[in-house]
Structure 1
Amino acid sequence: MTHTRYAFIKANWHGGIVDQALAGFCEIIPAGQVDVFDVPGAFEMPLLARDLAAGGRYASVACAALVVDGGIYRHEFVAQAVVDGLMRVGLDTGVPVLSVSLTPHQFQDTAHHRAIYAAHFLEKGREAARAALALVKTRAALDVAA
Structure 2
Amino acid sequence: MATFEGNFTGDSSSFRFAIVIGRFNDLVTGKLLSGCQDCLKRHGINVDPIGTQVDYVWVPGSFEIPMMARKLAMTQRYDAIICLGAVIRGQTPHFDYVSSEAAKGVAAASFQTGVPVVFGVLTTDTMQQALERAGIKSNLGWNYALDALEMANLMQQVNTISDEPPIANLKAIQESPQAVIGNQ
Q: The TM-score by the shorter chain falls in which range?
A: 0.7 to 0.9
Aligned pair 1:16/2:32, yes or no? no
Contact 2:66–2:106 (CA<8 Å) still a contact in 1?
yes
**Selected match of 1:95 from 115, 135, 142:** 115
Write the deviation string for residues 52-107 of structure 1: whole angstroms up to 9, x where unpaired: 000111111111111112323341221011101100000000000001111112x1
Q: Which residue of 2 is the match for residue 116 of structure 1?
A: 132
Aligned pair 1:26/2:37, yes or no? yes
Query: Structure 1's 38 and 119: CA in aligned 2 closer, same or farther, altered over 3 A?
Result: same
Query: Structure 1's 115 and 72: CA in aligned 2 closer, same or farther, altered over 3 A?
Result: closer
Which consecutive residues of structure 2, in runs of 5 or more, have no partner in the other structure?
Answer: 1-12, 168-184
Give the Cα separation in 2 of the matches to 1:83 and 1:62.
Answer: 13
Which consecutive residues of structure 1, in runs of 5 or more, have no partner in the other structure?
Answer: none
Q: Which residue of 1 is the match for residue 90 of structure 2?
A: 70
Aligned length: 141
Taking only the aligned residue pairs, the percentage that are identical comes to: 26
Give SS of 2:156's match.
Answer: helix
Query: Structure 1's 35 and 13: CA in aligned 2 closer, same or farther, altered over 3 A?
Result: same
Give the Cα separation in 2 of the matches to 1:27 and 1:122.
Answer: 13
**One-letter amino acid of the structure 2 residue matched with residue 137 of structure 1:** N
CA RMSD of aligned residues (A): 2.3
**One-letter amino acid of the structure 1 residue matched with residue 156 of structure 2:** A
Q: Which residue of 1 is the match for residue 142 of structure 2?
A: 126
Give the Cα separation in 1 of the matches to 2:21 and 2:156.
Answer: 27
Q: Please give the TM-score of this superposition, normalised by the length of structure 2.
A: 0.69
**One-letter amino acid of the structure 1 residue matched with residue 25 of structure 2:** H
**Selected match of 2:155 from 119, 139, 144:** 139
Q: Relative to total residues, which structure has the larger helix share, 1 or 2?
A: 1
